[in-house]
Every structure is written in C-alpha cells, then in structure tokens.
A and B are shown apart, each in its own frame.
Chain A
Amino acid sequence: DVKVTQSSRYLVKRTGEKVFLECVQDMDHENMFWYRQDPGLGLRLIYFSYDVKMKEKGDIPEGYSVSREKKERFSLILESASTNQTSMYLCASSLPTGGKQFFGPGTRLTVL
C-alpha cells in the first residue's frame, strides 16, 4: 500500500522558533509538494520539488524553505515561526508525468 507519512500530526511551537516538518514517501516518486490548508482558502502550494536537491517556489513561499537531500524525503522549514503560520500543512507526492498526488495525513501546526 502506497504511503506518504508526516512526522507529526500535531505540533505546538513558539514565535521565533525554527520548525521542521518532515515528509517521507515510499513510492519512489520524483515530485513532492508542500501545501498549507486554511479555512476558506483551500490548499495553497508553498514549494515543490521535482528531483533531489531541486525545488521551485509555489504560490506562498515567503517565510518557508525546503530541503530535499534524498528522493523519499522532503522537509519544510520555518526559519522563524510566526503566528500567521498556524495552519494545517499537507505533504504530497506524484510521478513526474502528471497524475494524481498522494497526500500525507497532515500536520496541524500551532504557533503561540
């Protein structure tokens, strides 16, 4: 069974902390994505990666960075967390030729 896992389901951090959200997929997918989901705004793409060490900004990259050192792992980094980054974060992966994305269960991050 294909799987995308995220390191935490719930996370509470303080303003100014550095936050790492980890995502691992076991499907050997080239593409990986990070979204944030907020009520009334749907899913918004933060960053995506189409290969190891390759990344592209999505629609809302400000305040975030990413790391993809291995094909199966894609990390989202909040260098200095702020309260407006309180959200649900979803990771996804897909093949490079288009097609459906497989989603992880999400990490609900609260920044106090």
Chain B
Amino acid sequence: AQSVTQPDIHITVSEGASLELRCNYSYGATPYLFWYVQSPGQGLQLLLKYFSGDTLVQGIKGFEAEFKRSQSSFNLRKPSVHWSDAAEYFCAVGAHTGNQFYFGTGTSLTVIP
C-alpha cells in the first residue's frame, strides 16, 4: 500500500542552525515526490518536487531535498534556518497519472532565536 511517513511530529531548531526533515515513502512504482510548507492559517505552498533525473533537487527559500531510492527517502534540508521558516511541513508522493496523491502527517517546525 502507498504511504508516506514523517517520523518527526515536531522539531525545534535555533535560528541559523541546519535543518533536516525526514520523509520515507512506500510506493509501488516510480513516484513523484514533493515537499509542501504550510504557514499558520494558510494553504499549502510547494517547496520543491522530484520527478526524475538529478536526485538532489533545489527548491524555494533555500531548501533542498535528496531522493534516495535505496532508502525510500526524500529528506528535506536547509543549511541555515530563518525564523520565518517556522511552519508545518508536509511530504507527499504522487502517481504519474496525477490522480493519486498521498501526504505524510506533517512535521511542525519551531525556530527559536
């Protein structure tokens, strides 16, 4: 069965520290992989996506993610976190046909000064 696991419910980091949010997926075919960010009271905004090719993808706001097929992972990273990065982050996997989309349960990020 298809699923997405984000093992960390909540993470707290200091401003300026590095960040890694974990995502593992289970999917029967080659997946499309996504990271979304949701600020309080807002909808979801796409940070980055992986379809094929280079397994290290760059996104907006200085985020990047690496697709590791052998580990079924797509972890999100940022070298230096800013206070404005505090939000909820969702990993998602989608089918190439576009009619299936599975989200993880989200990781809430708190940034302390």
Chain A residues at the B interface, C-beta cutoff of 8 Å: 4, 30-31, 33, 35, 40-45, 48, 50, 56, 90, 92, 94-106
B43 near A103: Cβ-Cβ < 8 Å: yes
Among B94, B99, B106, the most chain A Cβ lie within 10 Å of the Cβ of B99
Smallest Cβ distance from A76 to chain B, in angstroms?
15
The 6 closest A-B pairs by CB, nearest first: A42-B105, A103-B43, A43-B103, A98-B98, A103-B44, A105-B43
Smallest Cβ distance from B102 to chain A, in angstroms?
8
Selected contact of B45 from candidates A45, A103, A106, CB within 8 Å: A103
B105 near A96: Cβ-Cβ < 8 Å: no
B9 close to A (CB within 8 Å): yes
- Count of residues in B whose CB is under 8 Å from the partner chain: 26
A-B contact count (CB 8 A): 69
B97 near A96: Cβ-Cβ < 8 Å: yes
Residues of A with C-beta under 8 A to B106: 42
A105 near B42: Cβ-Cβ < 8 Å: yes
Complex CA gap A50/B99 in Å reads: 7
A56 near B101: Cβ-Cβ < 8 Å: no
* 24 examples of A-B residue contacts, CB within 8 angstroms: A4-B43, A30-B98, A31-B98, A42-B104, A42-B106, A43-B103, A44-B103, A48-B99, A92-B44, A95-B98, A97-B96, A97-B97, A98-B32, A98-B51, A98-B94, A98-B95, A100-B34, A100-B46, A101-B46, A102-B46, A103-B36, A105-B41, A105-B42, A105-B43
B32 near A99: Cβ-Cβ < 8 Å: yes
Tell me the nearest residue of chain B to A100, going by C-beta: B46
